[in-house]
Amino acid sequence: MELIVYLAGQIHDNWREEIVNKARDKKLLLKFVGPQTNHDRSDDIGEAVLGKQPSNYYKDDAASSINNFRTQVLMQKSDVVIALFGEKYKQWNTAMDASTAIALNKPTIIIRPENLIHPLKELSNKANVTVETVDQAIEVLSYIYE
Amino acid sequence: MELIVYLAGQIHDNWREEIVNKARDKKLLLKFVGPQTNHDRSDDIGEAVLGKQPSNYYKDDAASSINNFRTQVLMQKSDVVIALFGEKYKQWNTAMDASTAIALNKPTIIIRPENLIHPLKELSNKANVTVETVDQAIEVLSYIYE
Amino acid sequence: MELIVYLAGQIHDNWREEIVNKARDKKLLLKFVGPQTNHDRSDDIGEAVLGKQPSNYYKDDAASSINNFRTQVLMQKSDVVIALFGEKYKQWNTAMDASTAIALNKPTIIIRPENLIHPLKELSNKANVTVETVDQAIEVLSYIYE
Amino acid sequence: MELIVYLAGQIHDNWREEIVNKARDKKLLLKFVGPQTNHDRSDDIGEAVLGKQPSNYYKDDAASSINNFRTQVLMQKSDVVIALFGEKYKQWNTAMDASTAIALNKPTIIIRPENLIHPLKELSNKANVTVETVDQAIEVLSYIYE
Amino acid sequence: MELIVYLAGQIHDNWREEIVNKARDKKLLLKFVGPQTNHDRSDDIGEAVLGKQPSNYYKDDAASSINNFRTQVLMQKSDVVIALFGEKYKQWNTAMDASTAIALNKPTIIIRPENLIHPLKELSNKANVTVETVDQAIEVLSYIYE
Amino acid sequence: MELIVYLAGQIHDNWREEIVNKARDKKLLLKFVGPQTNHDRSDDIGEAVLGKQPSNYYKDDAASSINNFRTQVLMQKSDVVIALFGEKYKQWNTAMDASTAIALNKPTIIIRPENLIHPLKELSNKANVTVETVDQAIEVLSYIYE
Amino acid sequence: MELIVYLAGQIHDNWREEIVNKARDKKLLLKFVGPQTNHDRSDDIGEAVLGKQPSNYYKDDAASSINNFRTQVLMQKSDVVIALFGEKYKQWNTAMDASTAIALNKPTIIIRPENLIHPLKELSNKANVTVETVDQAIEVLSYIYE
Amino acid sequence: MELIVYLAGQIHDNWREEIVNKARDKKLLLKFVGPQTNHDRSDDIGEAVLGKQPSNYYKDDAASSINNFRTQVLMQKSDVVIALFGEKYKQWNTAMDASTAIALNKPTIIIRPENLIHPLKELSNKANVTVETVDQAIEVLSYIYE
């Protein structure tokens, strides 16, 4: 049974590629989707489609509408959501995607480093599982197929 | 028609009191609810109820389960959610509460300072209205009754 | 049993006042809510709250976010929706409110003049009842209490 | 991942064909569905199935029931809805389909010319993305697959 | 705790009055609602509101739209549905109301005579409780308050 | 796009076979499912699985639980429901299945003879389309693919 | 703000009375509802309403239908569910009520003795909060009002 | 039409293998999924993924979060749920899975021995069908395809 996994979270390193490769190595029947990971493209997509905006505020609103469209399409097709929080940045999109997934009853795994335990405690408590590494998340996915 | 408003967000200043007072001054028929605003009490509630936990990780998980219980009870009774983001802190609970409210179709207002426009752009785009000040939020609430 | 009725539709004449008065004359236990009926206030509410916008496009988007917030709050509290289409204007808000109400399983009455039968035929078919006059709508509301 | 796109909106020009062709040129994995685009067939389908009706009013009601049946079947199968508003006509069906899609949490794109910004402002605000041209809508669809 | 009970079913005898009186005698905190019980009024309501229709077929469709509106309003306000089937008539409205209530997760009691056991077996199996007399239905309602 | 159609209604003639054949002749991409059409098997399935019951009442309840299980499985997989009412019998299962389908937002077609217009008027009004013959229902299904 | 609390679980001691009294002592604005706590009445209610059944199996099925009716009515009115597991008995009704409450998004507290930690671990993990004593549950309820 | 069946319940004998084999013998188009059936693996999965926990209580909570994740993923993909109760053990997970399935409108079959009739009576009454043997459950599944 193929499952679709939405990979929410930071786009500043290659953790998605790592998950995809490890799932392939374990021959898990998983298809992965996620947000636009080119940061500039993600920030500029509003103006790329709608044209020059009057200021950064409007540029951001235009970009976010298209990013939200993409996320909504792909998350609705997903069976599982994994949300990774990194050491840096505010990462409110990650919190938003994880919270939305939980509210929509999507089974959800959070990956976060140890030093984020406290600020993420309520969100972790609502997610199904919270782990610290990509390898642990793969183990949880793998467990579905045992 | 009385409406119940859940006030999500930071608990480090008195913005809730300010909203409650201004709504009373305008004689708006609003009842306000929200999270535990005593920060220590919020962090300690798990051990206060369940007893000493083996480490901070488990203390946090115990506290978060009771805080999430409280939030779920009160948000389900609410007609409107206001979420305020301040200048500091990670505020993932605020993002979680706002995202959950939106996913549950609760009409939602975000209050955030100008310098958070960019990191909050996707969440702002999903909320009904995003403003910068408590006074603006009160104006939006007041508009319901015009 | 008191019922709350949302009055969607054009804001260019006093049809809401007429319904409210006739319901009062018949002593129907109804409370009426609806959109902002001051047209200028409705168009200007965005800038009134959020400040001057760069152009009419952004002024409109700001206003619409607050108007949609108001409508969502009040429609969710309503037991019945009445949507009136007049002879003039595009009235897409009326169509939007009626369609949303129907999709949310709110019992819905449409009032429209005879010459709009054809362009409104699909929406009329989805509504519970379509009538031509305010008096007929009052008769339908009154029938609930017989 | 193949996605199904419902193309709501006017049936007086070939914009659907244009979208289908451009999506094919870009090799997007999309399947398109939509309403009956033969205007006479759409107006006559009620009498074609149910026989001669007593007047245009009943002819319209008969046709609309079958058109609504078709739309409900196809929109429920769709992952995305695009609604195009043209320069002319009342187009309440387009507003109805877009509003229904949004209420059902279908990710929704609106295409409308610049001069319809004001009358469509509330509906645009509720849709995920609003653009002015078919090419822009294709760019948004294409962005899902980047 | 007051509960609202929708009394679906035949309108050819005074069983509703009997239930209301017996509930009052037992001092149960219940409010009862139900369909129009004046059969002629129920059949004529369409023409009463919308005017003379071209034939009985259209007269029936007009009446049913207003009867369905009334039922939808009142059933949505109800906590419990009781549906009584009598010895005669097709009573498809009763079956429709009971089935709708069950699909909407309204706790449902069916009252039917012994000789209707077989034709109603699937519907009885889906209802919470099936009894043969009004007194038994009152006993079940009364049990809520024990 | 293949659609699944649940054929609810009487099992005393071969109308299902007629629909299946006509859909095949028109090369419509439809798969048909429906209830057990062997009447004795349908009545006896409870005792066949659960063993001899104390009386007809319990035999009926046992059978209905398994028939309802089957219907729930197959209707949940369906995109469209067609419910046919014949001239005879009480057919409350047909009314139950059609009402359940409508409450679950399944697009629904009712087929009923002219002399059942009056007793079925409220249910017909809630269905998407009501026709008198199998051929008309096939025309409506066929219209989806035009 | 008054909240309604459903008290699911064993009926073999007076834990409900204890909760009610302690909530009253703390002046918490809570109303408590729950199952029939007279064990014999609960087992006999089916025959009391429906008459003598052919065997214990049918007696049990009759009773359970009325008990389930009562639970569904009262749980749907509740804002919070508390489920208490005692040392003895199978208590599958308690597990059923807690699981149903969680699936319906009712905020849920489980009370269970220490030696039931292992067999209840999956259910505890899905509940909002799990405690060992009535006093702890009261503390959690009290925390809502701080 | 292939259906997916979730097999909830005890993991202490080979009843799942028996069902799978009998379904294959009857050439039923069924795919079976279920919980981790290696009891030790199920109890240890938390520590296997998250590392050594401070005590059995935390070990259990860690394991249950991953087991619940697995169950949620697989049950959401399922069309039918079968829950088997054996003679021994508390089996609250079985009761939890069956109750959750019923609350989510999954068609549900319970298998339980005769001596569990009384303690399972309310849950049996809510399930679609309750049988005593694996063979009977297979007969019910087989009936879908007749």
User: pLDDT digits over D76-126, tens only?
Assistant: 999 999 999 998 888 999 999 999 999 999 999 999 999 999 999 999 999
Question: Which residue type does A98 have?
Answer: A
In whole angstroms, what is the distance from residue H43 CA to residue B58 CA?
A: 19
In whole angstroms, what is the distance from residue C22 CA to residue C26 CA?
A: 6
What's the complex ipTM?
0.96
In whole angstroms, what is the distance from residue C91 CA to residue G35 CA?
A: 52
In whole angstroms, what is the distance from residue A111 CA to residue A118 CA?
A: 14
Residue A67 confidence (pLDDT) = 98
Residue F124 confidence (pLDDT) = 98
Measured between alpha carbons, how far is residue H55 from residues E12, H58, H62 in Å?
68, 6, 11
In 10 A of CB H22, how many CB atoms? 17
CB contact under 8 A, B121 and A64: yes
CB contact under 8 A, G69 and E140: yes
Per-residue pLDDT at D13 exceeds 90: no
Return all residues near E143 (Cβ < 8 A) that are at least 6 apart: G36, G45, G49, G66, G70
Residue D145 confidence (pLDDT) = 97
CB contact under 8 A, F126 and E96: yes
F24 CA: distance to closest CA in chain D (Å)? 19
G-chain CB neighbours of H117 within 8 Å are 56-57, 60
E-chain CB neighbours of F69 within 8 Å are none
Query: What is the rounded average pLDDT of the residues B62-69?
Result: 98
In 10 A of CB D146, how many CB atoms? 11
In 10 A of CB H56, how many CB atoms? 12
- Classify residue A44 by burial, with Cβ atoms within 10 Å: 0-12, 13-18, 19+: middle
Strand stretches in C1-146, DSSP E: 3-9, 30-33, 80-84, 108-111, 129-131
CA B137 to chain CA centroid, nearest Å: 13
Per-residue pLDDT at G87 exceeds 90: no
In whole angstroms, what is the distance from residue C14 CA to residue C60 CA?
A: 24
Residue C133 confidence (pLDDT) = 97
In whole angstroms, what is the distance from residue G107 CA to residue B77 CA?
A: 12
Taking the CA atoms of D125, D127, D129 and D130 in sequence, report the sign of the dihedral they define.
Answer: negative
D-chain CB neighbours of A45 within 8 Å are 143
* Positions of chain E with pLDDT lower than 70, given as ranges: none
H78 CA: distance to closest CA in chain A (Å)? 11
Q: Which residues of E101-140 are buried (b: 16+ CB within 10 A; e: fewer)?
A: bbbeebbbbbbbeeebbbbbbbbbbbbbbbbbebebbbbb
Measured between alpha carbons, how far is residue H39 from residues E5, H13, H62 in Å?
48, 11, 15
Tokens matching residue E4: 């609202």
Return all residues near D123 (Cβ < 8 A) that are at least 6 apart: C92, C93, C96, D95, D98, D99, D110
E126 CA: distance to closest CA in chain D (Å)? 27
pLDDT category, B77, cuts 50, 70, 90?
very high
H31 beta partners? H4
Indicate the residue of C107, C136, C139 with minimum beta-carbon distance to E73: C107
Per-residue pLDDT at B87 exceeds 90: no
Q: What is the separation, in whole angstroms, between the first and last Cα of chain E? A: 12
Query: What is the rounded average pLDDT of the residues G113-128?
Result: 97
- Residue-wise pLDDT for H130-145, tens only, equals 999 999 999 999 999 9
C54 CA: distance to closest CA in chain A (Å)? 7
pLDDT category, A11, cuts 50, 70, 90?
confident
* Positions of chain F with pLDDT lower than 70, given as ranges: none
E-chain CB neighbours of G70 within 8 Å are 143-144
User: In the Cβ-directed half-sphere of F63, how many Cα atoms lie within 13 Å?
Assistant: 25
Residue A101 confidence (pLDDT) = 98
H74 CA: distance to closest CA in chain A (Å)? 8
Residue E140 confidence (pLDDT) = 98
- Say if A78 is an interface residue toward chain H (CB within 8 Å): no
Per-residue pLDDT at D11 exceeds 90: no
Question: Which residue type does D106 have?
Answer: K
In whole angstroms, what is the distance from residue A102 CA to residue A106 CA?
A: 6
Tokens matching residue C110: 């449409």
- Residue-wise pLDDT for B22-36, tens only, equals 999 999 999 999 999
Taking the CA atoms of B54, B58, B62 and B64 in sequence, report the sign of the dihedral they define.
Answer: positive
Three-state DSSP at F131 gives: strand
Residue with tokens 């709050």: C73
Return all residues near B35 (Cβ < 8 A) that are at least 6 apart: B8, B11, B42, B67, B70, B71, B93, B97
Per-residue pLDDT at B116 exceeds 90: yes
Q: Comparing D13 with H61, which gets the higher pLDDT?
A: H61
- Say if C4 is an interface residue toward chain E (CB within 8 Å): no
C-chain CB neighbours of B139 within 8 Å are 48-49
Per-residue pLDDT at H12 exceeds 90: no
Tokens matching residue H26: 């009857």
Torsion of CA F48, F49, F54, F56, to 10 degrees: -60
A30 CA: distance to closest CA in chain B (Å)? 26
Residue E8: φ, ψ to 5°: -85, 155
Tokens matching residue F34: 């429906």
- Say if B141 is an interface residue toward chain C (CB within 8 Å): no
Torsion of CA B69, B72, B73, B78, to 10 degrees: 160
Longest CA pairwise span in chain A (Å): 54
Tokens matching residue G108: 């849920």
Q: What is the separation, in whole angstroms, between the first and last Cα of chain B? A: 12
CB contact under 8 A, C96 and D61: no
- Say if C40 is an interface residue toward chain D (CB within 8 Å): no
In whole angstroms, what is the distance from residue G145 CA to residue B74 CA?
A: 10
Per-residue pLDDT at H11 exceeds 90: no
CB contact under 8 A, B129 and C76: no
Measured between alpha carbons, how far is residue B77 from residues D30, E129, G23, G107 in Å?
41, 31, 20, 12
Q: What is the CA radius of gyration of chain F?
A: 16
Three-state DSSP at H110 gives: strand
- Residue-wise pLDDT for A63-84, tens only, equals 999 999 999 999 999 999 999 9
Parallel/antiparallel/unpaired status of strands H129-131 and D30-33: unpaired
Three-state DSSP at H86 gives: coil
pLDDT category, A90, cuts 50, 70, 90?
confident
Q: Which residues of D79-88 are buried (b: 16+ CB within 10 A; e: fewer)?
A: bbbbbbbbee
- Residue-wise pLDDT for E58-90, tens only, equals 999 999 999 999 999 999 999 999 999 998 888
- Neighbouring subunits of B (3+ Cβ pairs under 8 A): A, C, G, H
- Residue-wise pLDDT for A112-121, tens only, equals 999 999 999 9
- Say if F48 is an interface residue toward chain H (CB within 8 Å): yes
Residue of C nearest to A56 (CA): C54
Query: What is the rounded average pLDDT of the residues G21-29?
Result: 97
Residue with tokens 């679609």: H128
Per-residue pLDDT at G88 exceeds 90: no
- Say if H136 is an interface residue toward chain F (CB within 8 Å): yes
C-chain CB neighbours of B107 within 8 Å are 69, 72-73, 76
CA A62 to chain CA centroid, nearest Å: 21
Residue G57 confidence (pLDDT) = 95
- The 3 state secondary structure assigned to chain C is CCEEEEEEECCCCCHHHHHHHHHHHCCCCEEEECCCCCHHHHHHHHHHHHCCCCCHHHHHHHHHHHHHHHHHHHHHCCCEEEEECCCCCCCHHHHHHHHHHHHCCCCEEEECCHHHCCCCHHHHHHCCEEECCHHHHHHHHHHHCC
F-chain CB neighbours of E92 within 8 Å are 91-92, 95, 119-120, 122-123
Residue of H nearest to B58 (CA): H58
Residue B141 confidence (pLDDT) = 98
In whole angstroms, what is the distance from residue A103 CA to residue A127 CA?
A: 10
B-chain CB neighbours of A91 within 8 Å are 92
Tokens matching residue A3: 């499952």
Tokens matching residue A30: 């998983």
Per-residue pLDDT at H92 exceeds 90: yes
In whole angstroms, what is the distance from residue G98 CA to residue G125 CA?
A: 12
Return all residues near A127 (Cβ < 8 A) that are at least 6 apart: A83, A98, A102, A108, A109, A110
G-chain CB neighbours of H118 within 8 Å are 56, 60
CB contact under 8 A, D146 and A73: no
- Residue-wise pLDDT for A21-52, tens only, equals 999 999 999 999 999 999 999 999 999 999 99
- Say if C69 is an interface residue toward chain B (CB within 8 Å): yes
Which strands, in side-by-side order, build the sheet including F129-131? F30-33, F3-9, F80-84, F108-111, F129-131
In whole angstroms, what is the distance from residue F20 CA to residue F16 CA?
A: 6
Residue E9: φ, ψ to 5°: 125, -170
pLDDT category, G89, cuts 50, 70, 90?
confident
- Say if C45 is an interface residue toward chain B (CB within 8 Å): yes
DSSP state of F120: T
* Positions of chain C with pLDDT lower than 70, given as ranges: none
In whole angstroms, what is the distance from residue D109 CA to residue A59 CA?
A: 18
